[in-house]
Amino acid sequence: KAGVTQTPRYLIKTRGQQVTLSCSPISGHRSVSWYQQTPGQGLQFLFEYFSETQRNKGNFPGRFSGRQFSNSRSEMNVSTLELGDSALYLCASSLVLSGGAGETQYFGPGTRLLVL
């Protein structure tokens, strides 16, 4: 079974630009979550999508947005990039992240974004 894939793997942008990152979950998984990892901050939850609906959002500014398509693929978008947005962005998929059963999330390799 193919794992979670993310594209692109590396990206360099300049301040003020916008960026779109893509995540393809494991086949059959319907929940996709996004996390940001920066040095010293650990993995911070951005948002989670299930059946094309955002079910939860972390404490990030409105410049961070996402969506999920009918095939469960997900994209996240960051508009008006700031230097502090430089980070590793990970997505994770699970069958149905019910929040009750301790279901495992499977992570992709991440997209490393550098904002200059």
Binding site for another protein (CB under 8 A): 3-4, 31, 33, 35, 42-43, 45, 48, 50, 55-56, 58, 90, 92, 97-110
In the complex, least distance from residue 15 CB atom to another protein, rounded to whole angstroms: 27
Query: Count of alpha carbons within 13 Å of 48, Cβ hemisphere only?
Result: 19
| Residues 6 or more apart whose Cβ sits within 8 Å of residue 72 | 25, 29, 30, 32, 93
- 3 state SS of 115: strand
Residue 33 or 81 having the CB closest to another protein? 33
Residue 28 or 100 having the CB closest to another protein? 100
Instruction: Let me know: does 23 contact 30? Beta carbons within 8 Å.
Output: no
In the complex, least distance from residue 43 CB atom to another protein, rounded to whole angstroms: 4
In the complex, least distance from residue 16 CB atom to another protein, rounded to whole angstroms: 30
